[in-house]
């Protein structure tokens, strides 16, 4: 399947690409509306600052085509900032509007713990799902972030606890997103990406 | 809390080969970077660090090619550094496949480098490497591979670096490095207790108990070592099994 990786200059595009190729998918870096429209599935990767992602999408005039594709039901996977972008806004850049596909705001993790939340952590799985098929609470995933989604959101499939619980995995219809980096999370991460490809197929 | 403590092998690279030395001197060949990267990825390393020890301008393309070859082998995060002086240097390393960049001497000479990188790549991608050496009642920051004093207090420098936007500290004890007598517990605990970001301890590791000490009394979030892994003195999986038995949370599934 042709999987469009939204390419707006994010650092983790090559590693997402490599991980997908190993799973037999055909990743393609896409930075145009047309590329999004013709793809079989879309992945929005991201590391760094929320503002950089939102501004890059706007500069490339990708905001509307991306929202449109997601709302039309094209299989979507958001990674890290790609999860955060789905919500209405973020404390990291309060002046910018998120994609607004999901209701809610991205907030900073509590200062009672070392930030960024950096390293391998486990999930508390709230309900079974296709995205987490074959994965368990014993599996570790690699996180690198300071801001996160509210654990109480209804689309939350699994939470992670670091200072407080936050939304780590979500799935709603064909919209999937993870706060960690599956492309950097060894065999467990590869399994999750494989599950997404099956959802998208 | 289930955030695992990290075990990080380090590849000191001179051009296209991994090298190893004692106290930053007397280098010996330790293998091919991509081969070692593939091995550590499979054995359960939590991250990998690649450092360009030559760090000279004209050999930079060779180092970038090494980063590309290493990144190709990994399904874990990669940190690269050595000779990063500008935003452009950092960008080329990130584009070659590094998730994080370490800065050391150049950040001491021009601390704004830290904030420039943090704004561009995010704090999670900026690792401030500090080489510290005990001087009477404090730890002195060393630069240029440990040769020169920066005339800075390591605790103060770590705090300033974090304020400027570093998301992690890679702390090497110049007193312990190469001795294989254990990590510097006092230094690491002092730095870890005074900054709000994760601290990677480096220098002096040999035995599994050294790792247990640095995660316990040393309050390290991650521990880095080089030659003991390259030489097969210490296997990563057995090390992690030992740590788990000693109540240190580690990632054993991989």
Please provide the DSSP assignment of B110-168 as one string: -THHHHHHHHHH-GGGEEEEEEEEEETTEEEEEETTTTEEEEEEHHHHHHHHHHHT-SE
The active-site residue out of A92, A117, A155, A181 is: A181
Nearest CA in chain A to B220: A114
Which residues in B lie closer than 8 A to residue A162 (C-beta atoms)?
1, 3
Clarify whether A80 is annotated catalytic.
yes
Chain B residue with the nearest C-alpha to that of A18: B72
A151: number of Cβ within 10 Å: 17
Predicted complex ipTM? 0.94
Which of A17, A92, A155, A183 is flagged as catalytic? A183
pLDDT of res. B56: 75
Report the alpha-carbon distance of residue B112 to residue A171 in Å, rounded.
41
CA distances A144 to A7, B102, B103, B112, B194, Å, are: 20, 16, 19, 23, 21
* Residue span of the structural domain in which B131 resides: 6-245
Which helix (H) or strand (E) segment is B19 a member of? strand B17-22
The CATH number of the domain covering residues in A2-200: 3.40.50.880
B40 contact A CB<8A: no
Structure tokens at B33: 């970077």
pLDDT at residue B60 in the model: 86
Asked if A107 contacts A147 with a C-beta cutoff of 8 angstroms, the reply is yes
Out of A12, A122, A146, name the one closest to residue B99 (CB): A12
CATH of the domain at B87: 3.20.20.70
Considering B14, B52, B131, B177, which one is annotated as catalytic?
A: B131
B43 touches chain A (CB under 8 A): no
Verify cis geometry, omega within 30 degrees of 0, for the bond prior to A44: no
Residue B250 lies in a domain: no
Using DSSP, state whether A195 is helix, strand or coil: helix
- Inter-chain residue contact A184 with B75, CB threshold 8 Å: yes
In whole angstroms, what is the distance from residue A68 CA to residue A37 CA? 9
- Give the span between the Cα atoms of B132 and B134, in whole angstroms: 7
CA of B28, closest CA in chain A: separation in Å? 31
* Angle, CA A141 vertex, CA A139 and CA A146 arms, to 5°: 140
Query: In 3-state terms, what secondary structure has residue A54?
Result: helix
- The Cα–Cα gap between B47 and A157 comes to 27
Q: Is B221 on the interface with A (CB under 8 A)?
A: yes
**Å from A72 to nearest chain B CA?**
32
Per-residue pLDDT of chain B (254 residues; tens, 9 = 90+): 589 999 999 999 998 899 986 555 567 888 999 999 999 999 999 999 999 988 777 788 899 999 999 999 999 999 999 999 999 999 999 999 999 999 999 999 999 999 999 998 999 999 999 999 999 999 999 998 888 999 999 999 999 999 999 999 999 999 999 899 999 999 999 999 999 999 999 999 999 999 999 999 999 999 999 999 999 899 999 999 999 999 999 999 75
Give the pLDDT of residue B145. 82
Active site residue B12: yes
Q: State whether residue A174 is helix, strand or coil.
A: coil
Structure tokens at B76: 């874990």
Residues of chain A with pLDDT under 70: 10-11
Closest residue in chain B to residue A144, using alpha carbons only: B124
The residue ranges of every structural domain in chain A are: 2-200
Pair type for strands B78-81 and B48-52: parallel
Active site residue: A80, A92, A145, A155, which one? A80
* Bridge partners of residue B137, in order along the sequence: none
Does residue B77 belong to the interface with chain A, where contact is any CB pair within 8 Å? yes
B254 inside domain: no
Structurally, how many domains does chain B consist of? 1
Task: Give the whole-angstrom CA distance, residue B56 versus residue B53.
Answer: 9
In a domain? residue B164: yes
Chain B positions touching A111 (Cβ under 8 A) are 196
Would an 8 Å CB–CB cutoff place A134 in contact with chain B? no
Is the CA virtual torsion A190, A194, A197, B2 positive or negative?
Answer: negative
Q: Is residue B116 part of a domain?
A: yes
Of A116, A161, A185, the CB nearest to B124: A116
**Domain annotation covers residue B154:** yes
Chain A residues with CB under 8 Å of B72 CB are 18
- Distance, first Cα to last Cα, chain B: 20
Residue A191 touches partner B, C-beta closer than 8 Å: no
Q: Please answer yes or no on whether A47 and B121 come within 8 Å at the CB atom.
A: yes
Q: What is the pLDDT of residue A188?
A: 97
């Amino acid at each position: 399947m042709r999987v469009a990786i939204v390419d707006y200059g994010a650092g983790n595009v090559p590693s997402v690409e490599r991980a997908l190729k190993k799973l037999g998918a055909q990743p393609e870096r896409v930075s145009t509306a047309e590329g999004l429209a013709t793809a079989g599935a879309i992945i929005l990767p991201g590391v760094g600052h929320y503002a950089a992602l939102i501004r890059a999408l706007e500069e490339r005039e990708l905001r509307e085509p991306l929202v449109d594709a997601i709302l039309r039901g094209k299989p979507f996977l958001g990674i890290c900032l790609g999860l955060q972008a789905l919500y209405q806004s973020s404390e990291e850049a309060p002046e910018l509007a998120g994609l607004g596909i999901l209701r809610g705001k991205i907030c900073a993790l509590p200062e009672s713990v070392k930030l960024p939340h950096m390293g391998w952590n486990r999930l508390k799985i709230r309900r079974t799902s296709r995205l987490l098929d074959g994965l368990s609470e014993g599996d570790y995933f690699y996180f690198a972030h300071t801001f996160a989604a509210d654990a109480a959101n209804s689309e939350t499939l699994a939470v992670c606890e670091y200072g407080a619980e936050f939304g780590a995995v979500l799935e709603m219809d064909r919209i999937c997103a993870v706060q960690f980096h599956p492309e950097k999370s060894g065999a467990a991460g590869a399994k999750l990406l494989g599950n997404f490809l099956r959802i998208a197929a | 809390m289930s955030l695992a403590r990290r075990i990080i092998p380090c590849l000191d690279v001179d051009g296209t080969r991994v090298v190893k030395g004692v106290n930053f001197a007397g280098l010996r060949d330790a293998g091919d970077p991509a081969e070692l990267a593939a091995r550590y990825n499979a054995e359960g390393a939590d991250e990998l660090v690649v450092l360009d020890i030559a760090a000279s301008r004209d050999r930079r393309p060779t180092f970038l090619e090494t980063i590309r070859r290493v990144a190709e082998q990994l399904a874990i995060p990669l940190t690269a550094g050595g000779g990063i002086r500008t935003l452009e240097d950092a960008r080329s390393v990130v584009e070659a496949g590094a998730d994080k960049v370490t800065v050391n001497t150049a950040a001491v000479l021009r601390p704004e480098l830290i904030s420039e990188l943090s704004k561009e790549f995010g704090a999670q991608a900026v690792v401030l490497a500090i080489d510290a050496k005990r001087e009477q009642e404090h730890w002195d920051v060393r630069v240029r591979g440990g040769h020169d004093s920066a005339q800075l207090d390591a605790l103060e420098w770590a705090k300033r670096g974090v304020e400027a936007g570093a998301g992690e500290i890679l702390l090497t004890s110049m007193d312990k490095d190469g001795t294989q007598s254990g990590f510097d517990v006092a230094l690491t605990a002092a730095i870890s207790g005074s900054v709000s970001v994760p601290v990677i301890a480096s220098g002096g590791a040999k035995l599994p108990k050294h790792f247990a000490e640095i995660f316990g009394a040393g309050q390290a979030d991650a521990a880095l070592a080089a030659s003991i892994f390259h030489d097969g003195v210490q296997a990563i999986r057995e090390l992690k099994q030992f740590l788990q038995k000693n109540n240190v949370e580690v990632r054993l599934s991989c």
